[in-house]
Amino acid sequence: MTIYAKLGYTLLGLLIVLNWGFLMGATFRKIGARVAGRYGIPFYQPWLNLLKNISTRTTITHGVMYYIGPVFRLTGGIGLFLFMPMVFTGTVDGPWTNFSFEGDLILILYFQVFGMLGMALGAGQGGHPYSAMGIARGLAQHAAVELPLTLAFISIAIQFDTFSVYKIVAAQQGGIENWVLFTNPFAAATIILAMLGAMGHSPFNLVKAPNEILIGPATEFEGTYLGFMQSAGSILHVMEAVLFMNLVFGGASNWIELIVKTFLIYFWSVFVGMVFPRFKIEQSVTWFFKVPLLLGFLAIIIYSF
């Protein structure tokens, strides 16, 4: 496959991911609305929101870092996408595998934090006290989530003896029984629990907590930058789901499967989030340091020996 074809597929994939992210977001808001007993937003609302945000005429500035924040976040999302194999096609050189390579799991872990760090810069320069509080919460919680998540990743890496996501996906092919979910239940359990934190739904939606700290890091962002952040958020949500799908749920062999699986993975966090209130930050961090961390250690211990 030529590099141009690869680039083409990657860009197309990004487009699909972005739109799927929007659609998924809208769908889940509709589902949430159903539980409440109403109809909720139209399916096309996120696109309109994006358009509207881009068409905002005035902007404010708080300095360079303020601009860079959303860019970092978008970069984090795209970076996560670039090194993530989306659809398993049998060969790493095939379409939809993007720039997956040996050791991309480590890069992905890095990119997960990347967006948050960028936001920290932007929100910090924004100067709003609630932005600062939000990003502080975000980083703290991220660290707490990352710890069990990394343990689970390492456990899986040990299990398959590779840091390549693509190879992990490949190893899970050939039936549901080959999924990490069944072959490494402790790592899977860790990921499933830590995932709640990574997805940012209740009870772990501390970063954007409207009745506590306005809308958190994004408080000062408006217009195009907000549009950037929304797009990045959608991509990140899909990519997180794709990551967990690839690691635990056997990857996807076509786009339909990907869509179904990411939907279900995302649904899990919505399912929990809908009926639980929000933790305080120390409660949240403590929670991750309890069960998921323990499971993560177990997963490593089991596969280390």
Partner 1 sequence: MSEKDMNDKVNEMLQRSEANVKKAEKSFIHPEDEEREVVAPDGSIIKVNPIYDYFSGEKPKEEKPCSGIIEKFLNWARAESIWVLGFGTGCGSIEIPPLVTPRFDMFRFGVQMRPTPRQSNAFIISGYLSVKTLKRVIRTYEQMPSPKYILALGSCTINGGMYYDSYSTINRLDKYIPVDVYIAGCMPRPEALLAGFTKLKELIKEGKGEKANEYARNFDEYKANQKKIIKDWNMPDYNW
Partner 2 sequence: MSLKDILTPFTAWSKVVKEPVTIKDPLNREAAPRYRGFHDNDIDTCIGCGTCEAICENEAIDLVPVDGIETKDGDSGLRPKIDYGRCCWCALCVDICTTNSLRLTNAYKWVDTDPDNFRFVPGVDEKDWYKREEGWRKPEPNYEFYGLKRVEMGELHPEEREDSFVEMIKGYSKEQAEAEADRCVECGICTATCPAHMGIPEYIKAIRNDDLEEGLRILYDTNPLPEICGRICTHKCETVCTIGHKGDPLSIRWLKRYIADQNPSEKYKKILETDILKKNGKKVAIIGSGPAGLSAAHYLVLLGYEVEIFEKLEKAGGMMRYGIPEYRLPYDQIDKDVNYILSLGVKIHYNVTVGKDITLKKLGEDFDAVFAGTGLHLGRSTRIEGTDHENVYQSIELLRKITQGEEIYVPEKIVVIGGGNVAMDITRSLARLQNQKYGKVQVIATSLETEEKMPADREEVIEAREEKAIVNPGWSPQRIEIVDGKIKGLHVVQCLSLFDETGNFNPQCNMENKNFFEADMIVESIGQGMDVSYISEDIKEHLELGPRGRFRVNDYFQTSLPWLFMGGDTIQGPDVIHGIANGHKAALGIDKFLIGE
Partner 3 sequence: MINKFLGFEPDKDKLPSLTAKIGDDIDLSSHKYQKIWLGPNHPGVTGNMAVELWVQGNTVVKAKTHVGYLHRGFEKLIERRLFVQGFPTSIRMCVAEPDTNEYLIATCTEQLSGYDKAVPEMAKWLRMLSLEMARLQGLLRGVPGQGGTFALGLGVQWGVYLRDLILDRFEELTGARVYHMYIIPGGVRGLLPDGFKERMEDNLRDIDDFIIRIRKLMFHNSVFKKRAKGLARITPDMVDKYGIVGTNARGCGVKRDVRKDHPYLHYDQLDFDPPTDTDGDIYARTWVRWQELIQTVDLIRQIMAKMPEKGDIKAEMPNVLHWKIPKGETYVRLESGRGEYGMYYVTDGSAKPRRVNLRGPSYTHAIALLEDMLVGADVADVHAIMVSLQTCPPEIER
- How long is the chain? 305
Contact with partner 2 (CB under 8 A) among 5, 11, 15, 33 = 33
**What minimum distance in Å lies between the beta carbon of 251 and partner 3?**
33
Q: Which of 271, 291, 297, 302 binds partner 2 (CB under 8 A)?
A: 271
Whether 212 contacts 134, CB under 8 Å: no
Residue number, 126 or 250, with CB nearest to partner 1: 126
The reply on whether position 281 binds partner 3 by CB under 8 A is yes
Residues 159 and 147: their CA atoms lie apart, in Å, by 18
With contacts defined by CB under 8 A, name the span among 41-49, 144-152, 247-255, 292-300 that binds partner 1.
41-49
Which residue of 2, 3, 4, 38 would you call a contact of partner 2, by CB under 8 A? Answer: 38
Considering only 27-35, 127-135, 143-151, 295-303, which stretch makes contact with partner 2 by CB under 8 A?
27-35
| One residue of 72, 220, 258, 262 binding partner 1 per CB under 8 A | 220
Using CB distances below 5 to 8 A depending on partner kind, what does residue 31 bind out of partner 1, partner 3, partner 2, none?
A: partner 2
Which member of 2, 3, 4, 57 binds partner 1 (CB under 8 A)? Answer: 57
- Asked if 203 touches partner 3 (CB under 8 A), the answer is yes
CA dist 85 and 210 (Å) reads 35
Site stretch for partner 2 (CB under 8 A), options 34-42, 71-79, 106-114, 221-229: 34-42
Q: How far apart are CA 43 and CA 80, in angstroms?
A: 26
DSSP conformation letters of the chain: --HHHHHHHHHHHHHHHHHHHHHHHHHHHHHHHHHHTS--S-TTHHHHHHHHHHT--------HHHHHHHHHHHHHHHHHHHTS--S--SSTTSTT-TT--TTHHHHHHHHHHHHHHHHHHHHHHH--HHHHHHHHHHHHHHHHHHHHHHHHHHHHHHHHT---HHHHHHHT-SSGGGSHHHHSHHHHHHHHHHHHHHHT-TTS--SS-HHHHTTGGGGG--HHHHHHHHHHHHHHHHHHHHHHHHHHS---SSHHHHHHHHHHHHHHHHHHHHHS-PPPHHHHHHHHHHHHHHHHHHHHHHHH-
- Contact pick of 3, 37, 58, 175 for partner 2 (by CB under 8 A): 37
Contacting residue, 74, 105, 133, 192, with partner 3 by CB under 8 A: 133
Q: Is 210 near partner 2 (CB under 8 A)?
A: no
In the bound state with partner 3, the residue whose beta carbon lies nearer, of 213 and 265, is 213
Q: Does residue 275 belong to the site contacting partner 1 (CB under 8 A)?
A: no
Asked if 193 interacts with partner 3 (CB under 8 A), we say no
Contact with partner 3 (CB under 8 A) among 274, 297, 298, 302: 274
Which does residue 55 touch among partner 2, partner 1, partner 3, none (CB within 5 to 8 A, set by kind)? partner 1
The answer to whether residue 44 forms part of the interface with partner 2 (CB under 8 A) is no
Residues in the site for partner 3, rule: CB under 8 A? 35-38, 129-130, 133, 202-203, 205-206, 209-214, 274-283, 285-286, 289-290
